[in-house]
Amino acid sequence: MLVTITMEFISLLFLTVIFCSFIIRSKNSTNESVFFFRMIAVTMISLILEIIATFTIAYRDQVSVLNMIVNRMYLSTIPIIMLQISDFIIFLYNDELKVNEKKGIILRRILDISCLLVILVDLFLPMHFANNSFGDRFGVYADGLAVTVAISYGIILFFIDFISCIRYRNYYLKQKVLCLIFYFLLLAGGIIARLVIPGITIICCEVTLICILIYFIIENYDTKRVEKLKEIRDQANKFNLEKTRFLSNMSHEIRTSLNTIVVTSNDLIESNVDNDIKDELKDCLYASETLLELVGNILDLNKIESEFISLNNVQYDLKKEIESLVDMTTIRIENKPINFIMNIDNSIPNVLYGDKVYIKQIMNNLLTNAFKYTNQGEVKLNVGCENDFTNKVSHIKILVQDTGIGIKDTSKLFNKFDRLDVDKISTVEGTGLGLVITKKIIDSMKGTITVESEYGKGSKFLVEIDQAIVDNPSISIANRSSMNYNFGNRRVLLVDDDKLNLKVEKKTLSKFNFKIDAVTSAEEALQLMRDNGYDLIVTDVYLENEFDDQVLKYAKKFNIPVVCITADAIEGAEEKYLSSGYSYYISKPYSVKDIYNVLESIFRK
């Protein structure tokens, strides 16, 4: 008995020291520390009761009532201690899982109630005292049904904890997993030791050890630092999300206005106005393109920050995409004496499968730079390919070559915000982001980019990427040399809550000889859809709240394609709109060719 009492007192001393130090050190009480605090308090009470029980058991005949009360109370602390440990384990993985929080709370409540039931039932179940009893093996001095129930409950919780730990092992911090493994080993080892040597009193010491261990894990500097970092990470993610939302809104606003400028300028250039005015309009268009590129680059910053860019692969006609791109970028030549030479390999398969938007962006960035940083001479665009028809892969090679200012040190070319040779290029607009973004896109496509440059003489950028060849395309291959604007006598419904946008979109669509009805609200749109049969609906997606549910459903029911024209061009926007039920997505500012391509896909499949 002396050995038992000594061990119990030493354990109690340890626990008291941990308890006090924990209260002093834990200034800010986290959920984890509250759990630990509860656990240590219950263990201390249990230990005090165990010490009293060890005394009274020696005088069981003289103090039978007191002995019974103390032992029943002590017995009750066993399920409570086990419950605290289970609670702690549920909390640990729940805290990591986060999403599972609700489930975790329900599980805890079930355990609380079950523990209470066991304690209540145990008050009435028979219990007697015997040497070398069943309970003795588990650190209890008594025997009987009450002991069996309490200990069985503890064993069940032990197994539940064990299974939880294995199931959610990936969610724990490494130190915490070690602590849990130690806990299971100690508890299992203690019980086995008791079964082999019944007199040995080690349960209280084990629980004390577990508490010490958990204490050092909670109070561990590294663990605390990891936790602090996690908190900071969560906060940073939140801010990042807000930043993305802000950028998305900004982009929407800027793109909407730009769209009006670009479309109207283009229309006027094509009309019969004087050449002087046309020149001025071209300046206006040029400025808009620059502004658009700027907006695009700022938005793309988001993409650089994320690890990899997600690709949106579709079937596309590379030659057609190059044509529309060249139309847009040659505007950069301005009045400089530059000869633009384009050479597109005829063996490029008609339909490829890949992210056409990004392929275009790569070429656009390289071509724009070539025009920007070349004052005279030539800019060459060569697009070639090596086709492997057995594996259905086309190895595309895009070469952009210029006779411009050249690059002194190509090693810094792909650094964020780095502009080289700043003195020489101070008059050229740029953010130093284009090539970083280009490289990121190429990496995501598992391609390569190589640069050769001779300072003062010119530069050569070669991009190589593989694209899948499509044998039986689901898109139509238009005659590239001429655009046939006649899509038959179609009826189109145009919906946009902004009257200026509506006017611009109506003007663009009227080029295709459609019969157009234009409205500014979903209600009006629905009314018209019920009264008339439409072949196509074109809408600004900012009407999405009312529009999504009603108009989209209605259009789907009658198989009417819905095209969204939106200024929301942030990463993932296209996928978002397509998956929410729109048939096609066009981002602002758009060209007539963008609209034409979509119309072709709809009406000339």
Q: What is the Cα–Cα distance from 420 to 453, expressed in whole angstroms?
A: 13
Stretch that binds ligand ADP, among 24-32, 153-161, 428-436, 513-521 (CB under 6 A): 428-436
Residue among 404, 447, 561, 589 that touches ligand ADP (CB under 6 A): 404
Quote the tokens at residue 399: 């070469």
Helix or strand (DSSP H, E) at 519: strand 515-519
- Residue 34 Cβ, how far from ligand ADP at the closest point, in Å? 52
Quote the tokens at residue 308: 């990899």
- 354-393 residues near ligand ADP, rule: CB under 6 A: 365, 369-370, 373
Alpha-carbon Rg for the chain, nearest whole angstrom, is: 37
Nearer to ligand ADP, 261 or 367 (CB): 367
| Nearest Cα to Cα of residue 15 among 30, 29, 32, 36 | 36
Nearer to ligand ADP, 203 or 433 (CB): 433
Residue among 433, 441, 463, 560 that touches ligand ADP (CB under 6 A): 433
Q: What is the Cα–Cα distance from 387 to 145, expressed in whole angstroms?
A: 80
Interaction between residue 206 and ligand ADP (CB under 6 A): no
Query: Could you tell me whether strands 491-495 and 536-539 are parallel, antiparallel, or unpaired per DSSP bridges?
Result: parallel
Q: Nearest 5 degrees, angle CA 449-CA 424-CA 334?
A: 75
Stretch that binds ligand ADP, among 59-67, 209-217, 299-307, 425-433 (CB under 6 A): 425-433
- Residue 336 Cβ, how far from ligand ADP at the closest point, in Å? 14
Residue among 207, 407, 541, 543 that touches ligand ADP (CB under 6 A): 407
- Residue 419 Cβ, how far from ligand ADP at the closest point, in Å? 3
Q: What is the Cα–Cα distance from 446 to 192, expressed in whole angstroms?
A: 57
Stretch that binds ligand ADP, among 177-185, 275-283, 405-413, 526-534 (CB under 6 A): 405-413
Where are the strands (E) in 264-321, listed by range? 314-316
Residue among 200, 405, 449, 494 that touches ligand ADP (CB under 6 A): 405
Whether the link from the prior residue into 126 is cis, omega within 30° of 0, is no
- Residue 354 Cβ, how far from ligand ADP at the closest point, in Å? 22
Interaction between residue 432 and ligand ADP (CB under 6 A): yes
Residue 406 and residue 455 in contact, taking contact as beta carbons nearer than 8 Å: yes
Nearer to ligand ADP, 37 or 414 (CB): 414
Residue among 47, 49, 57, 435 that touches ligand ADP (CB under 6 A): 435
Residue 393 identity (one-letter amino acid): V
For the chain, the residue count is 605
Query: What are the beta bridge partners of residue 448?
Result: 464
Burial class of residue 228, CB neighbours in 10 A (0-12, 13-18, 19+): exposed
Distance in Å from the first CA to the final CA of the chain = 92
Q: What is the Cα–Cα distance from 40 to 214, expressed in whole angstroms?
A: 10
Interaction between residue 43 and ligand ADP (CB under 6 A): no
Other beta carbons within 10 angstroms of residue 291's beta carbon come to 18
- Residue 440 Cβ, how far from ligand ADP at the closest point, in Å? 11
- Residue 373 Cβ, how far from ligand ADP at the closest point, in Å? 3
Quote the tokens at residue 361: 């962006």
Nearer to ligand ADP, 83 or 295 (CB): 295
Q: Which x/- pattern over 457-496 shows residues binding ligand ADP (rule: CB under 6 A)?
A: --x-------------------------------------
Residue among 330, 431, 550, 591 that touches ligand ADP (CB under 6 A): 431
Stretch that binds ligand ADP, among 149-157, 423-431, 478-486, 538-546 (CB under 6 A): 423-431
- Residue 412 Cβ, how far from ligand ADP at the closest point, in Å? 8
- Residue 462 Cβ, how far from ligand ADP at the closest point, in Å? 12
- Residue 415 Cβ, how far from ligand ADP at the closest point, in Å? 8
- Residue 18 Cβ, how far from ligand ADP at the closest point, in Å? 58
Quote the tokens at residue 316: 């596309």
Nearer to ligand ADP, 71 or 365 (CB): 365
- Residue 382 Cβ, how far from ligand ADP at the closest point, in Å? 15
Count of residues that interact with ligand ADP, criterion CB under 6 A: 22
- Residue 297 Cβ, how far from ligand ADP at the closest point, in Å? 7
Query: Could you tell me whether strands 338-344 and 448-454 are parallel, antiparallel, or unpaired per DSSP bridges?
Result: unpaired
Other beta carbons within 10 angstroms of residue 17's beta carbon come to 12
Stretch that binds ligand ADP, among 94-102, 232-240, 317-325, 432-440 (CB under 6 A): 432-440
Long-range contacts of 164-167 (CB under 8 A, 24+ apart): 164/89, 164/90, 164/93, 165/89
Quote the tokens at residue 130: 């015997």
Stretch that binds ligand ADP, among 91-99, 418-426, 494-502, 561-569 (CB under 6 A): 418-426
Residues near 547 by beta carbon (within 8 Å), at least 6 away in sequence:
495, 522, 525, 539, 541
What does the binding site for ligand ADP look like in residue numbers (CB under 6 A)?
Answer: 365, 369-370, 373, 402, 404-407, 413, 419-421, 425, 430-436, 459
